[in-house]
Amino acid sequence: MTTGTKRRPLQELTLTEKTVSRALSASRAPIERGVARLKAWRIFRRSRCTPNRMMPIARAILTLEQQR
C-alpha cells in the first residue's frame, strides 16, 4: 500500500511530493467511493452468507450504481 507524504513540522512539502500525493488521491478516490456505496446497501449489513457468495451480489450492485 502506498500513502502520500506527510508534511514535516515547520516545513512545507516539495512540489514533487505534492504532485505524488495528488496523484495517489486521484487514483484512490473512485475505489473509496465504490466502497462507500457498497456500505450504504443494507444487504451487506445483514448478510449471513459466505463472502464467496457476496461477490456476485457486490458486482451486481456496483453495476446498478453505475447505471444510476
What is the residue whose three cell numbers read 502520500? 4
b/e per residue 50-63 (b: at least 16 CB within 10 A): eeeeeeeeeeebee
Model pTM score: 0.55
How far, in Å, are 7, 53, 54 from residue 60 at the CA level?
A: 40, 12, 10
Q: Which of 30, 41, 32 is nearest to 64 (CA)?
A: 41
pLDDT in tens, 52-68: 888 888 888 888 877 77
* 21 pLDDT above the threshold of 80: yes
